Amino acid sequence: ESESLQFLLFYELIIALSILAGGVTLVHNIARRVRIRVPSGSFFRLPKIRWHSGHGYGFTTALAIGLGATLGSPLFILIPLNVLQYGVISIASLLLAAAISFSIARLYARMFREWNEKGKDCTDGPSFTKNACGRVSLRYFIARFGMWIGNTALAAYSLIISANYARFGFFNTLRSLVSLGILENVVTGLIIALLAAWFLVNAFFEKRYARTIAVAQIALTVILCGILIFETALLAGTGNRPIDSLLTPSSIDASGLVFALITNTAFLFLLFFGFQEIQALSSDLAPKSSVPGLAFLSRFKDMDRVRFAKYAMLGSVSIATIINIAYAVGVYIASPDPNSVAQASIPAVYISRTMFGPWNGLLIAFAFIIASLTTFVPAYLASSRHLQWLSSDGFFPRVVGKSAWLFSLLFIVVLSLFNAGFL
């Protein structure tokens, strides 16, 4: 009954968005001429963020941003739950989702080159649709509006699971090592303050501290990847289940197998969404950059921003695919109790703590906090930029675009009132 209710809410949401899309498009010519006058006074003066270009992000930073947004907090929840329930179908879905993302990344790179040579906007996927179909087309509105909803929901999802874990789940691991007593509330506050500080620096001081943010993003991504690789090796080393059991034919009939593969791919595609953040930062990329370690090859030396953005997007998808699939296989081999994992707030932390002890659990807990940092902020910034474009293209009033950061934040708060499963 609860699943039927979730499906009903989902379809109601889709229908509502479809009606809104059609309605906004039909009245677009009238809406373009409507102006909302905000009363004067300090109370009504909404602060606004001015988006600047020319931050000079090179290949390494672009790769770290894309990989950090891809290896986000959903990995610690979706992969363990999915692979323990579906086994080889889950692995196949990961491969299929990765192949789709890799194809999209190649298409983005091609469109980036073509539209950049024509002097057109190349900031993200919806901008390609606008260039091809026109600013007032229904296709463009759906593409841009859908990306805004998607990034807003992803940011809200990350906010829910990270805030809940900071308040409750983190201490289940910490208490097995040390008893903090009343200081537990202080630690919770520090974790939430860390998330808030990283958000504020990226949202309001991105230009001023661009170099520092880039270095921090690279460092966080390297640490996150290192922890995940280490954890994968531990899981695979347990040998609780032979890896060749993945090749055992499924007992599901052909139609059920296809349905499970499609639904799992749609479910896990969220894990490969982050590479698009590189395209969203196209105006902030440096004019030229080289690939570290491969600069001795002329092909990877002093590349223009279109070219190294392509390698950064493809690289982030490829590396994320390897880590995601390797971790999924590791969880499958370790074979923890599926029922207990399903009841855990953060399955990856629960698996590590129960199988390898509290120190390993604490290590994965820190990795989850890092992943929350590298997921929430890019998703929020992308959401704000999509809303700003919708306003500048006439779909929403100008006041919305001028304070897009505030309106996106409000919608994130509203969506966070739903549960993580619904999002």
For residues 76-95, average pLDDT: 88
Q: Output the CA angle 19-25-30, nearest 5 degrees.
A: 125
Residue 146, phi then psi, degrees to nearest 5 = -65, -40
DSSP 3-state of 106: helix
Looking at residue 381, its pLDDT comes to: 78
In this predicted structure, the answer to whether residue 401 has a pLDDT above a threshold of 90 is no
In this predicted structure, the answer to whether residue 230 has a pLDDT above a threshold of 90 is yes
Q: How confident is the model at residue 250 (pLDDT cuts 50, 70, 90)?
A: low
Beta bridge partners of 303: 289
d(CA 416, CA 403) in angstroms, rounded, equals 20
151: part of which helix (H) or strand (E)?
helix 138-164
What distance lies between CA 45 and its chain's CA centroid? 32
Looking at residue 301, its pLDDT comes to: 87
User: How is 48-92 classified by DSSP, letter by letter?
Assistant: ---------B-HHHHHHHHHHHHS-TTHHHHHHHHHHHHTHHHHH
Looking at residue 37, its pLDDT comes to: 53
Looking at residue 420, its pLDDT comes to: 67
Looking at residue 43, its pLDDT comes to: 45
In this predicted structure, the answer to whether residue 238 has a pLDDT above a threshold of 60 is yes
DSSP 3-state of 135: coil
Which range is least confidently modeled, 52-61, 75-84, 320-329, 333-342? 52-61
In this predicted structure, the answer to whether residue 2 has a pLDDT above a threshold of 70 is no
What distance lies between CA 415 and its chain's CA centroid? 16
CB 372 within 8 A of CB 363: no
Looking at residue 271, its pLDDT comes to: 77
End-to-end CA distance of the chain: give it in Å, rounded.
18
What is the total residue count of the chain?
A: 423
For the packed helices 75-86 and 88-117, what is the interaxial angle rounded to 10 degrees? 130
CA distances in angstroms from 108 to 220, 277, 343, listed in the order given: 26, 12, 39
The b/e string for 158-188 (b: 16+ C-beta within 10 A; e otherwise) is bbbbbbebbeebbbbbbeeeeeeeeeeeeeb
Q: How confident is the model at residue 418 (pLDDT cuts 50, 70, 90)?
A: confident
d(CA 2, CA 9) in angstroms, rounded, equals 11
d(CA 223, CA 234) in angstroms, rounded, equals 17
Looking at residue 102, its pLDDT comes to: 92
Quick: pLDDT tens for 38-55: 455 544 454 444 444 444
Quick: pLDDT tens for 332-351: 999 998 888 888 888 898 89
CA distances in angstroms from 393 to 33, 53, 119, 173, listed in the order given: 12, 20, 18, 49
d(CA 369, CA 192) in angstroms, rounded, equals 10
Looking at residue 314, its pLDDT comes to: 92
The b/e string for 27-60 (b: 16+ C-beta within 10 A; e otherwise) is ebeeeeeeeeeeeeeeeeeeeebebeeebebbbb
Looking at residue 223, its pLDDT comes to: 92
- Computed over every residue of the chain, the mean pLDDT equals 79
- Which residue has better confidence, 163 or 315? 315
DSSP 3-state of 303: strand
In this predicted structure, the answer to whether residue 103 has a pLDDT above a threshold of 70 is yes
d(CA 149, CA 391) in angstroms, rounded, equals 15
